Chains A and B, each alone.
Chain A
């Protein structure tokens, strides 16, 4: 055991005041670096907004409100974006309509039905959907899926001939594998993992006592889900769906490959179409002047739309989480 005598600990060697020390340089430096990294996010978002708008400016000034015009024809110097906005809306909507029930079903399956040990492998499998790169979805989509769908579309189209509303949606002479609908389906595949995972998080916050209360009254599992889980998770689920919508709106490459690349506004879902990210991807490389500015402007619009959707979505999810916590 070492000797007990030691110098008065209040005064370490070589310092005038025992307890005083400047805040070490490294400590303050690290804090600054951390703050700067955090601010980087805000800076980047701001720069995106500024630089892209700047690049798109000539389109805004030349077309004015014509940016929402129906015709996009470089040869005629017309750059109206309505058909792309329409296409984005349609494909995203189709994607949501397909993905929402599927994701909800899987999420409920995982939280309420499946025994605990099976949950993890199922989650892994669903996450595999997310690992497949967008371009591979597109490759498979255009070379395999679309041709196969074309047969189906043709059959449906001939089947609905003459029936009023359905013919306008699913009929027509030019049905094509590469179309709005195909793009919507593939987008649905791609957004399912994220909507499922968020839905799971939301549903998992349902208090167990509420669920047990329902079972104790003799409810079947579905009745419990309907009566307890649903009211609790509705708003949060809406947030999850909105996030999926944001992803579907912005997903570029898969859409670019299977949407058909035809800038038309039509009700026929099996017809080739176009959407904002797809036209940017396909035309930007060779575009110059106003066309390039226009494509950049589409990027600006896409940025704005997805930011708005995401802000609303995150807000909804946060609010429902706060309510679940009781704060």
Chain B
């Protein structure tokens, strides 16, 4: 059958309209999915800012925690902020070096051996262990013997952070080109030196930003702290003995409260916490961007 000019023209036209429509509908659904995810985020953030901003003040950030019945303007979240900073700091100091070393083992020393594969798989699985289970674990193994303390909470948070740091560090180490290691070996460096003087410095940007994200996650966790620090309202500067408090713990308490003042303070604390998490996240992104430039 001869190909007529008309059928040639027809073949260059768009596909039949029902295929086009289906394509458009599907694309619209995908955009809708995105919107559906964004809307709650926007609402939460707006609400937190709206309800929390009015109560934030220097006094709020430093004043002691009043009883729940106190009206909105009174008191603040000082002890909770201190607790969050101190406990998260200790958790970071424990989890980050160990996490980096664990990733070094998996990527630099483990090779294709079965132990390294098991460790990597289990680190992955460990990222999925619920945070409350970490809290119960530290409760059983530490709090029962040593009592409530900020340190117990820090241990639980460290257990949470460890697998996250391991996995993100490992991804960064994998990106370091092998040519750099070979160059260092060829100069007579031991494996430890190759790792410490060439590999880790080459990956430091990614490792840091990964660690910051783990810190942000830990700072916002409540469940691991529930049974290990025993939320109190007075400030406890000694992180190693005696119950303590943290921003998430206070928010949890205040959310359950029916007093308006407590709820207002809860929003203020939520705003503070979200601000901390955001700052850490932005810092992580900035570091990633800066080091990507440096590495060419």
Give A contacts to B, CB under 8 Å.
23-24, 26-27, 29-31, 33-42, 44-45, 47-48, 51-52, 54-55, 101-106, 108-109, 113, 122, 124-129, 131-140, 142-144, 189, 192, 196, 218, 220-223, 225, 243, 246-247, 249-253, 256-257, 277, 280-281, 284-285, 296, 299, 302-303, 306-307, 309-311, 313-314
Contacts and interface: CB of A to CB of B under 8 A. Distances in A.
A138 B225 CA distance: 16
B292 interface: no
Nearest to B39: A189
Contacts of A222: 22-23, 26-27
A44 B134 CA distance: 10
B221 A277 contact: no
A103 B23 CA distance: 19
Contacts, number: 260
B20 A220 contact: yes
A104 B30 CA distance: 8
B87 interface: no
Given A52-B133, A137-B44, A222-B26, A38 B106 contact: yes
B137 A51 contact: yes
B242 to A, nearest CB: 17
Contacts of A277: 130, 132, 223
Closest 9 CB pairs of A and B: A250-B130, A105-B33, A133-B220, A38-B105, A37-B101, A30-B192, A310-B128, A34-B105, A27-B190
B131 A250 contact: yes
A309 B251 CA distance: 30
Interface centre among B109, B136, B221, B273 (most CB of A within 10 A): B136
A31 B115 CA distance: 14
Contacts of A45: 122, 125-126, 129
B30 A109 contact: yes
Nearest to A51: B140
Nearest to B137: A48
B204 interface: no
A252 B131 contact: yes
Interface stretch (B2-10, B60-68, B232-240, B262-270): B262-270
Contacts of B99: 37
Contacts of A29: 192
Nearest to B250: A135
Nearest to A49: B137
B141 A128 contact: no
B294 interface: no
A44 B263 CA distance: 37
A41 B33 CA distance: 37
12 contacts: A37-B98, A38-B106, A41-B166, A45-B129, A131-B281, A139-B254, A139-B266, A140-B44, A243-B128, A285-B227, A296-B140, A310-B125
Nearest to B248: A135
Contacts of A124: 285
A144 B121 CA distance: 40
Given A27-B192, A51-B140, A309-B128, A136 B270 contact: yes
Contact of B34 (A23, A105, A313): A105
Interface of B (DSSP majority class): helix
Interface string B25-52: 0110111111011101101110110000
Nearest to B127: A310
A250 B132 contact: yes
A302 B32 contact: no
Contacts of B125: 45, 307, 310-311, 314
A221 B27 contact: yes
A252 B104 CA distance: 32
A257 B226 CA distance: 14
Contacts of A106: 30, 33-34, 37
A121 B254 CA distance: 34
B19 interface: yes
B176 interface: no
A223 B23 contact: yes
Contact of B141 (A24, A51, A131, A218): A51
B228 to A, nearest CB: 11
Contacts of B219: 133
B133 A122 contact: no
B223 A281 contact: yes
A139 B140 contact: no
A108 B252 CA distance: 36
B34 to A, nearest CB: 5
A134 B222 contact: yes
Given A102-B33, A138-B255, A253-B252, A42 B109 contact: no
Given A109-B34, A131-B216, A135-B255, A284 B226 contact: yes
A275 to B, nearest CB: 11
A317 B287 CA distance: 30
Interface in B84-111: 98-99, 101-102, 104-106, 108-110
A141 B243 CA distance: 28
Contact of A306 (B47, B128, B190): B128
A40 B256 contact: no
Given A27-B192, A106-B33, A134 B133 contact: no
B155 to A, nearest CB: 10
A48 B159 CA distance: 10
Given A41-B162, A310-B125, A34 B104 contact: yes
